[in-house]
Structure 1
Amino acid sequence: MNAPVLNLGSVVSAENAIKILRATTGEVVVAIGRRPDRSWPALKLMLDGQDYATIHPGAIVTGDADVAELTIPLPGLPNGRPHSVAIADAATGTLAPGSNLRPIATETKLRALVIYPAGEVHEHDKVRWYRAPMEKLLSDYFNIGDMIVYDSTLKLLRYAHLEPMKIMSPTEGDIERYASEFDYVFVRGSNFIHENMEWFRAVEVLERVKLPVYAIGVGAQASQNRKIELPEPSKRFWSIVAERCASIGVRGAFSAETLRQNGIRNVEVVGCPSIFRTRNRDLKIRIPDQREIRKVAFSLRREADKSYTADPEAYLRNQKAALLKVDAQSEMVMSSHGEQEEKAFFLRDPAAKEKAVAEFTRTGWWSGADDAAMRRIYEKQLF
């Protein structure tokens, strides 16, 4: 057993002084925080529901740090055991988040389940639009940003097999197979923390499938900085996720505060997975002198309602003005969010393009003196 003293203040909080960071069939890694009296809490390790050992961190942790990480080796048990690992505060019996789940096998190829995938996976960790007839590609809405985040998340995970978790109409066979054949579940990073999020039967499935659940880069979305009161099914969903992982990784402070206001406190701000998709700890962004910048990519999101912005009409006017200004001052290319009209130009479908132009004219997105510049951008600079 080892006990390095680390800067884990963001992982261990007053509400969760003990956390399971990782549990495999060979070891369990636990983060612990000192009590107010500066003592370390004693830990009870349980395997398959039975008491296995009591651990006193004070006997092995040195130094004055407030937080430490313990790596506890597990015994080699027959028949693929242990089937569940739990850590509890020996004094109170309070279970640490991540307890009573099946540990991840270290010597097998991992099988993962994803909740709400965004696109078709190919070549193991690459994401593309779902293959479909042209009519369906044009009519369906695909969020390209979500696809990039999904692609980035896959590059951070270890798995040999990936499969979407059925949450709309899972069968008994599906649930039994998830419980027996898979190693962990992850929630694709997106703006899932809001009042209207629909989880269908995800809570029921997760309650019956005792696997670790990870959420990396999920976010709250609102048009204004306001309190978001989540409905009970969403609160239950995020409570389960919080119980099954070291911490829910959210995009920013607003997302973290939204979950905390709804009683979910096992949260850590990690940002968006697209930021660290390369897993390069030395990655740096070089910001050149503004006068040197010539090539600019403008990310367009044209469709927006009041859940996205307080004033959709002003948002569109300002975005169009910014688009034309950047185009005039640089060698600009434009990426779209996934709206049907932009896809019509990207896929170069004549009939769909004609409908798109009519929609642009009706809404004022293309209007008067700007028509020629907007058409040029859509015809030649969209990617």
Structure 2
Amino acid sequence: MTASPKLRAANKTPPVDQNKRVEDLNGGDDYDKFFWTYTEEPHKTRRQAIIKGHPEVLKLCGPEPLTIPLVLAVVSLQVLSAYSLRNQPFISWPVFLTAYIIGATANQNLFLAIHEITHNLAFKSPLANRLLAIVANLPIGIPYSASFRPYHLTHHKSLGVDGLDTDLPTALEAYFLDSVAGKAFFATFQILFYALRPMFVYKLPLTWIHGLNILAQVAFDYALVKTCGGKALGYLILSSFLAGSLHPCAGHFIAEHYVFSQGSRSREVKTSHSAKLAPAPEETYSYYGILNLLTYNVGLHNEHHDFPAIPWTRLWKLNEIAKEFYDDLPCHHSWVGVIWQFILDKEVGLWCRVKRSEGGRKVGAGAGHGQPIEITS
């Protein structure tokens, strides 16, 4: 990662009550190892600055139809792979290697297809997007697309807000996993943390789209088991687990919002007065490497949070147009390196997240599943 030499004009931290900051940082023992900030999330500010300087970026917003055939192709690939392995012993190298190399990559691709579709970026119709997300969900084996949408849109509207942003680790997770072994456990089973944590933060009301998601998934799983056997379904679920485990593409989960370049401040927060007064570090990081080709350019994560209505095929264009806003931001160069450093570096861990105690709002928690995310506020 390369650290930014200075804060960009669009991201300057407004004045805060430093006495309150020090008092709060001193008041909560280990809970205060997070990077607490009292400013709004940076993406709204940068988005407004980019639109002011480059209004043409708004023309990049809107659906990308290419997502539709790609989803269908990857779904077909996984169904074909499951069928091909139906007679293989489940605990065998052919199954494991296929699940790791092909299956995990394919299902990670489908995770991120659902992420794109969540932002209404496949069809113009919100309902069509919801239905395509359910189709993309099928090879994952477990229904989640309907629940992912409101949690993820809330993550955008409430970035870093404690109690709303379910992407944030809890203090309990950070405390008990604050070791090399603990971080290795988290990195290995992170898909389970992301699946289960939201339900402990706040619960969503069930809607008809949740019911359809569950019904379609159960019907698909049943049909697969009846026609290909239980090993075929086992392959798909194993692929989903490996997609969120120690897999190169899974590095994006950690790379996106964990603080690396200034991670040491979380350890100094008890002892360094100057560290307590320092503004929070950058809280979103991009990756511009080759694995973006397999993951809907999710590595361009600052760009995505700045303009969530710009689809994956146009994020590079956004970066090119507004390069003066992105060139100096810290970024990652390797998702494998991110996982490696996260586990072994004592200055990096689950505490290394920026949190804020207020602001934000829940999105799509009720029946309003057709509501697109805003891009200008």
The TM-score normalised by the length of structure 1 is: 0.23
More strand by percentage = 1
The TM-score normalised by the length of structure 2 is: 0.23
More helix by percentage = 2
Instruction: Name which structure has the greater RCO, CA cutoff 8 Å, separation 6+.
Output: 2
Larger radius of gyration: 1
